[in-house]
Amino acid sequence: MGLTLEFQLNGDHTAVLADEAATLQTVLRVELGLTSPKRGCLQGTCGACTVLVDDAPCLSCLMLAQNVAGRSVQTLEGLKEGAQLNPLQHAFMAHFAAQCGFCTPGMLMAASALLRQTPNPTRQQVVDAIAGNICRCTGYEPIIKAVLAAASASGNT
Amino acid sequence: MRVHTFDNARDAANALLDDSSARILGGGTLMMRAVNEGTATFNTLVRTKDPALQRLRTDTSRVELGAAVTMAQILATPDLNYLHPVAATVGGPAIRQMATIGGNLFAPSPYGDFAVALLALDARVQVYSSFGTRELALTALFGTPPSAPPRLVGAVTFSRPRSEQALHYHKVTRVTPKGASVLSLAACFTVRGERLSGVRLAAGALAAGPIRLARMERALEGQRLEAAAVASALPQMLDDIAPPTDAIASTRYRRAIAPVYLRRLLLGELTPWA
């Protein structure tokens, strides 16, 4: 059965017709054309589908789309600042924190959630924040350095 | 897959009774995995928006956690800092935003670590059923046969530990701290006149679900908290447990390390989770 789902998506009010049992990931990718939340494990293990719901990281593959009715959702597409990439995205590029890039949207969203909550994180806090995101390429160190660099560039260290 | 949403928990509980193929949906961290895999043995998800399930109340003597309270909410509550080491080991940050107290009670081994701590705290649960609302011991909930009518857990309550150090917890996992358990252990006790009092021990991933280590508890009650007394009581633990073999660890491995970690937990030899 379909239902009309209304929520804030990347700052804009959005209304979409969705199946009542659809996951948030399906709605974002299929109905709304936002492909940044990746279909990885579909088990909540890899974190490639991470988006922000009310500024908190959530796994879109495990979340019923209905759960975001009236709430705020942010995907990687909404992370940039106008036409510019935000400092976190610049830092990922500068520190070679992406190789194949499949984990990168989830990593960026997890890191973004951290920096909103903790603008001046320690290394351990960065490690904890991305603990739910798996990367097979970088060995994580470039990602950690990029997040710390982004925090520094924002003038918080 | 159908989804039915109810404003109150009583109606959601009745929906479970009316439809044997219905299951309650909490945070979705376990149910939606089965849906995504196509292995779900149910075809209806029941949700409730009842605010009573979101309630988190603490006072000087008693704590009440609604079934829909998440691990992230536990971590955000300073008054529950003795539960922070437990909640922090349930998945990664995104899982903790979604994973609920109620869902964790029914998480199959090797999951359900928060339930282990609740067992050690001698928690009680409020359940909704066709007969109304009633309270029962968490141990009784876990002892309910599979053939019993479904019940919906509304809240968990327990007496506040006498001191923040009265609850001891450790999780052994291959992917620290968020991975599935090799085993998890929780101990709640006080020391009066150098003797152990009110000993409650619980374990996860050492049976089909979370268990109390009743024989071990009886062996330790009234003993001194020292290496010799703990060593003398440890064989009782092996009679309490029936560890499974799964992708994380074997029965043999779990039986081998369980007494080692319980001894270390009781004697304070483990580094607490941050």
B233-256 confidence digits (pLDDT tens): 999 999 999 999 999 999 999 999
- Look at residue B166 in the predicted model and tell me its pLDDT: 85
pLDDT interval class at B136 (50, 70, 90): very high
**Residue of B5, B94, B97 lying closest to A47 (CB–CB):** B94
Contact B95 A50 (CB under 8 A): no
Q: Is the pLDDT of residue B162 over 90?
A: no
Complex prediction ipTM: 0.94
* Mean pLDDT along residues A94-112: 97
Please, what is the average pLDDT of chain B?
92
Q: How far is B36 from chain A (nearest CA, A)?
A: 6
Mean pLDDT of the B13-38 span: 92
Contact predicate B126/B154, CB 8 Å: yes
Q: Is the CB of B94 inside 8 Å of chain A's CB atoms?
A: yes
Over residues B115-123, the mean pLDDT reads 97
Give the pLDDT mean for A139-155.
93
- In the prediction, which pLDDT does A81 show? 81
CA gap A104, A81 in Å, rounded:
18
Chain B residues inside the 8 Å CB shell of A43: 33, 36-37
Average pLDDT rounded to a whole number, residues B70-74: 98
Give me the percent of chain B exceeding a pLDDT of 90.
82
- For residues B120 and B188, the answer to whether their CB atoms sit within 8 Å is yes
Band (pLDDT 50/70/90 cuts) for residue A157 is very low
pLDDT at B125 over 90: yes
Read off the pLDDT of each residue in A94-120 and give the average, rounded to a whole number.
97
Q: From residue B22, give the alpha-carbon distance in Å to each of A142, B3, B18, B211.
A: 45, 9, 8, 27
Best interface-test mutation with B: which of A23, A45, A60, A114 has the largest number of B CBs within 10 A? A45
Please state the rounded mean pLDDT for residues A120-140. 96
Show the tokens assigned to A128. 């904890």
Residue A33 has pLDDT above 80, yes or no: yes
Residue of A57, A62, A66 lying closest to B93 (CB–CB): A57
* pLDDT at residue B177, rounded to an integer: 67
% of chain A with per-residue pLDDT over 90 = 91
How far is residue B229 from each of residues B214, B236, B240, measured CA to CA in Å? 16, 12, 18
First-last CA distance in chain A: 51
B171 and B104 Cβ atoms separated by less than 8 Å: no
Whether residue B129 has pLDDT greater than 90: no
pLDDT score of B273: 57
Residue among B1, B29, B72 whose CB faces A21 most closely: B1
Per-residue pLDDT, averaged over B175-194, amounts to: 88
pLDDT at position B105 over 50 = yes
- Among the partner-chain residues A53, A67, A132, the one whose CB lies closest to the CB of B92 is A132
Which chain A residues touch B45 with a CB distance below 8 Å? 21, 64
Average pLDDT of span A99-125: 97
Residue B220: partners with Cβ closer than 8 Å, 6 or more residues away = B189, B196, B199, B201, B229, B230, B233, B266
pTM of the model: 0.94
Shortest CA distance from B1: residue in chain A: A21
* Chain B stretch 21-80, residues whose beta carbon is closer than 8 A to a beta carbon of chain A: 25, 27-29, 32-33, 35-37, 45, 47, 72
Q: In B109-224, which residue ranges form alpha helices assigned H by DSSP?
A: 113-120, 138-142, 214-220
Of A22-26, B50-54, B147-151, B247-251, minimum mean pLDDT range: B147-151
Q: What is the count of residue pairs from A and B with beta carbons less than 8 Å apart?
A: 78
Chain A residue nearest residue B179, CA to CA:
A45
CA distance B101 to chain A (A): 17
